[in-house]
Every structure is written in C-alpha cells, then in structure tokens.
C-alpha cells in the first residue's frame, strides 16, 4: 500500500492566552495500518507529548483501515473524532484530550458501494454528544451515541428523512455530503440540481447555487474577522465583521 493517512486538529481552550494552543496529530503507525498513533504538541512547552496508540479494526476486505481525509476532525466535549474507513465498513477514531487516549468506535451502518463518496459525516448530535449523518441513496439518517444508566454506550437512530421529497429532487444521482457548518449544525449537500444547506433538526433548507459536473469539498465559514495586526488587543485587535 501507499503512504499512511494522517489527521490533525488544533485546540485552544476558552480563556487561554491567545498564543497558547495544542495540536493533535493522529495517523497510522505502519503501512499495514494495524494501529493508530497520536501525539499532542503544546505551544506552552514547545514539545510533542508521548505517543499513544490503539489497535485498528481489521477486516477481510483486503483494505487497510485508514483515516478518511475528506472530513476534518470534529470536537465533541473533550474529544476529537475522525472517520475511519475500510472497504464497505466505517468506524470512528476518538482522541480524548483529558485522558490523552485513543480508541475506536464501531458504527452501525455499512455502505455496499464503498466509502469515500460523501455519504457519511461525523458531527455533534442534537442536544450534545457524538452523532453522525448517513446517506443511503435519498434517505438521510441521523444517529446519536447514548449512554444508559449502567454506563454502556450504544448508537440510536434518531430521524430518517427522504431528501428527494424534502428538496423536491428529481434526479437519478444520489446526493453527497460536501461540508458541515458545526456552529449552526448545517450540512452542505451536493445534488445534480444544485448545492443545498440543510438543517435537519428544523428541516430548513436553502439552495445555494447550481451544481456543476463532479463534486468537491466545501469549507463553510460562519464568521468573518478583520486581520489582527497586533498582540494584546487595543486598536489592533481583530473585529467581527459577519456572524451567521
């Protein structure tokens, strides 16, 4: 196989000095992708922490388990999450910032067409906690991780939505997830008739523009600031121009 996959995320705690941050780096420990490893860089110490690792799930598909590079890390609580793919199976890689630990979370869905086609996206669930959106043809499913009174966690299917009816689609091509605006919990969907924003809890949607052949990943922004030309505030500090 080729190069191992690598994911990263930057974290700065609320109230921390603006110059202080942490970088979480995760990746495969070897070409066979039998383990995932992670390390944290601290701007305070200027050093990388110790490597932590966890075994990656193995399948008989002949494909290694890889971090899906088409989706950025998602932070829920004190953990970062990345999507794992292996043939027609998916999982989630969790890095707990407080415990400095890695673990793999299985997912209750399988995609017979193989991953990498924008049909799944890890996100915060409604009301808090970990969740994900799964597209199967024109059906959108919202899943949420719940923990019972005994501390046992399991996936629960929340709602299922027929996208062709919601968006009035008349297309033979399945929609794809191309982006996610985390603050407003809005998903960007590519369809053959246009790119839409969809807020699944409220079922509000908006067509942004006509689609083109092929599809791409989009990086939605929810606030625009002026450039911060100084350190320490004052007249040089960044100003919020737009917040959506």
pLDDT for 109-136, tens place per residue?
765 454 455 788 999 988 889 999 998 8
**Segment 187-202 mean pLDDT:** 84
Choose the weakest-confidence range: 12-16, 41-45, 126-130, 198-202.
Answer: 12-16
**To 5 degrees, how large is the angle CA 179–CA 182–CA 184?**
110
Residue 175, helix vs strand vs coil = coil
What is the number of structural domains in the chain? 1
Q: Is the model more confident about 233 or about 30?
A: 30
23: which 2 tokens?
């970088």
Assessment of whether the complete model's pTM goes beyond 0.85: no
15-25: per-residue pLDDT in tens?
Answer: 767 788 999 99
User: Which residue did the predictor score with more confidence, 28 or 2?
Assistant: 28
| Main-chain phi, psi angles of 243, to 5 degrees | -135, 120
* Plot region of 43 (φ>0 → left; ψ -120 to 50 → alpha; else → beta): alpha
The answer to whether residue 72 is domain-embedded is yes
Residue 132 lies in a domain: no
Residue 153 pLDDT > 50: yes
Backbone angles phi, psi at 94, to 5 degrees: -110, 130
Within a domain: 17: yes
Report the chain's mean pLDDT, rounded to a whole number: 79
Closest C-alpha to 64, from 43, 44, 84: 84
Q: Is residue 4 part of a domain?
A: yes
Q: Residue 70 is part of which domain span?
A: 1-116
* Distance (Å, whole) CA 50 – CA 38: 8
What pLDDT does residue 229 have?
47
Contact 183, 165 (CB under 8 A): no
Least reliable range by pLDDT among 87-91, 100-104, 175-179, 232-236: 232-236
Predicted local distance difference test score (pLDDT) of residue 167 = 82
What is the per-residue pLDDT for 240?
47
Q: How many angstroms separate the CA atoms of 6 and 38, rounded?
A: 10
Say if 170 falls within a structural domain: no
Tell me the C-alpha distance between 116 and 134, whole Å: 13
At residue 11, the pLDDT reads: 92
Tell me whether residue 89 is in a domain: yes
pLDDT of residue 80: 95
Residue 12 resides in a domain? yes
Q: Indicate whether 191 belongs to any domain.
A: no
Does residue 69 or residue 238 have the better pLDDT? 69
């Amino acid at each position: 196989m080729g190069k191992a996959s690598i994911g990263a995320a930057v974290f700065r705690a609320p109230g921390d000095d603006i110059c202080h941050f942490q970088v979480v780096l995760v990746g495969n420990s070897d070409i066979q992708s039998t383990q995932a490893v992670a390390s944290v860089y601290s701007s305070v110490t200027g050093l990388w922490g110790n490597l932590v690792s966890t075994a990656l799930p193995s399948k008989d598909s002949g494909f290694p388990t890889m971090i899906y590079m088409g989706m950025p890390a998602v932070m829920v609580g004190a953990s970062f999450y990345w999507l794992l793919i292996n043939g027609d199976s998916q999982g989630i890689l969790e890095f707990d910032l407080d415990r400095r630990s890695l673990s793999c979370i299985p997912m209750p869905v399988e995609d017979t067409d193989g991953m990498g086609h924008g049909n799944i996206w890890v996100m915060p669930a409604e009301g808090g906690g970990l969740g994900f959106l799964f597209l199967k043809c024109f059906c959108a499913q919202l899943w949420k991780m719940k923990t019972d009174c005994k501390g046992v966690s399991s996936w629960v299917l929340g709602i299922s939505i027929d996208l062709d009816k919601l968006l009035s689609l008349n297309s033979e091509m399945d929609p794809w997830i191309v982006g996610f605006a985390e603050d407003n919990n809005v998903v960007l969907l590519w369809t053959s008739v246009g790119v839409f924003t969809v807020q699944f809890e409220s079922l509000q949607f908006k067509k942004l523009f006509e689609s083109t052949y092929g599809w791409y990943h989009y990086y939605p922004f929810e606030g625009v600031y002026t450039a911060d030309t100084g350190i320490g505030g004052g007249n040089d500090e960044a100003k919020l121009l737009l917040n959506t």
